[in-house]
Amino acid sequence: MLLNSQSTRSLLRAVDFEYAPQRFTVYTARDLDRIGQLERLPAELRYEMKVVSSVLPFRVNEYVLRELIDWERAPEDPMFQLTFPQRGMLSDAHFKRMAIAIDSGLEKKELQVVANEIRAELNPHPAGQLENNLPRDESGEPINGLQHKYKETVLFFPSQGQTCHSYCTFCFRWAQFIGDKSLRIATTEAEKLYSYLRHHPEVTDLLVTGGDPMVMKSKQLKAYLEPLLHPEFSHIQTIRIGTKALTFWPHRFIFDDDADELIELLHHLVLAGKHVAIMAHYNHWRELDTDVARAAIRRVRATGAEIRSQGPLLAHINDNSGDWAKLWNEQVKLGVNPYYMFVERDTGARRYFEVPLYRAWQIYRDAMKQVSGLGRTARGPSMSAGPGKVEIQGVTEINGEKVFVLRFIQARDHDLVQRPFFAQYDENVTWYDQLRPVQGQALPFLEAAR
């Protein structure tokens, strides 16, 4: 089916401001010295960044440097913290090990060995995602590049989409970016995806994820998605695309050479009857605070696709209710639906970003109080753990004992979905595996793990 040029033209008109298109220019760890803005920071900080970025992924682009980061406020600036490595992301012992290796002038190969040893100690694959969620084909062979954990949703990791326009310092998929192919989840074998979906009529949602699928050419994305319009995939109601391009490179939707092709693809999928949901990753209202970011949202919405937002709560970036309320309010204003507030996962630089569960819940609740009902659609704070997504619903007392009230929003074991349960209140707990049972009531995830 071809789109008529009338509707395409009205979509193009969603861009209604003057803006000089930029070329996509990216900097990685070896380019740290070429980032002019860093010169204003103390030499020690620059050295620390060098050490940390030899272990954890680093990548930032010119738009983030020029328009998102407030250099007057660096290093505390949340957009700086979102993208630039900080010393506290590694333990003292790991930091020193890497620093000594660098200072002693080891060869690149030997440095890699040290870096890999440290990485292996940072829980590169939380929630057992390499083994536990790997679907199998009819002959029992595991299918690489897919994850199927919750009955209704299959995750697809196209191999061309396993990088991002910039990297978030707290990324839970960081292990995919460090060049070790054995750790990577990806596939180019779309045929296996289609075959799997054909055999699984219970699946209603396909979530294309990465990395960031929006780094792919529109042509590639189209090649993956258009076949889903065939009647044999009528059970796939919703195509979700997980992305942070609306933050890191909004130009993708407006000025890139194939931006129009992408917009037309989204529109085409919508017209053909699919629910298209852009699962946009946002952490801070500042990400919405540029003309190009807002125009990209308008343009995506004009296709008929929905934008839902999700992102973790993070120390040093957004651990206060005011910033969340402002983020959700701005999103509602722009027609973006708040969907999830996550708890930072137990991997990578977690030590630097983690927030105790009781604090996360307070921040969530205080932010909720400041937004209208349309902003209260965000669920959370939610932990994406091995057995499922566990939400902290609140704090209360039973028989005089202070407890957390929790529930599974999603669970591998379907019977756990939406069942409330309790755990001992403890202000030090930052992840579900530290939760302790209350008055002899077993924790359901311990049962599920058995």
What are the contacts of 90-95 at 24+ separation with CB within 8 A? 90/51, 90/52, 90/55, 90/56, 90/118, 90/349, 91/351, 94/55, 94/118, 94/121, 95/48, 95/51, 95/52
Q: Quote the CA–CA distance of 170 and 351 in Å, as a whole number.
A: 10
For ligand SF4, the closer CB: 174 or 358: 174
User: Per the omega criterion (within 30 degrees of 0), is the bond before 158 cis?
Assistant: no
Binding of ligand SF4 at residue 184 (CB under 6 A)?
no
Selected binder of ligand SF4 within 158, 161, 211, 338 (CB under 6 A): 211
326 binds, among ligand SF4, ligand PLP, none (CB under 5 to 8 A by kind): none
* Binding positions for ligand PLP, 100-139, rule CB under 6 A: 133
Which stretch, 33-41, 95-103, 149-157, 257-265, contacts ligand PLP (CB under 6 A)?
149-157
313 binds, among ligand SF4, ligand PLP, none (CB under 5 to 8 A by kind): none
What is the full DSSP assignment across 202-247? Answer: T--EEEE-SS-GGGS-HHHHHHHHGGGGSGGGTT--EEEEEE-HHH
* Binding positions for ligand SF4, 272-331, rule CB under 6 A: 281
Q: In the β-sheet with 153-156, what is the strand arrangement from edge to edge?
A: 146-150, 153-156, 205-208, 238-243, 275-281, 306-313, 337-343, 379-384, 388-398, 401-411, 420-424
* Binding positions for ligand SF4, 242-281, rule CB under 6 A: 244, 281
Which stretch, 145-153, 182-190, 348-356, 418-426, contacts ligand PLP (CB under 6 A)?
145-153
321 binds, among ligand SF4, ligand PLP, none (CB under 5 to 8 A by kind): none
Binding of ligand PLP at residue 377 (CB under 6 A)?
no
Q: How far is the CB of 155 from ligand PLP (least distance, A)?
A: 5
For ligand PLP, the closer CB: 337 or 410: 410
Which stretch, 209-217, 296-304, 355-363, 387-395, contacts ligand SF4 (CB under 6 A)?
209-217
Selected binder of ligand SF4 within 56, 164, 214, 443 (CB under 6 A): 164
Closest-CA residue to 81 (of 60, 102, 97, 98) = 60
For ligand SF4, the closer CB: 213 or 338: 213
Report yes or no: 196 and 229 within 8 Å, Cβ to Cβ. Answer: no
Tell me the site size for ligand SF4, rule CB under 6 A. 10
Closest-CA residue to 360 (of 324, 407, 402, 400) = 324
Binding of ligand PLP at residue 174 (CB under 6 A)?
no
Binding of ligand PLP at residue 410 (CB under 6 A)?
yes
Which stretch, 34-42, 160-168, 338-346, 430-438, contacts ligand SF4 (CB under 6 A)?
160-168
| Residue type present at position 396 | T
Q: Quote the CA–CA distance of 244 and 264 in Å, as a whole number.
A: 20
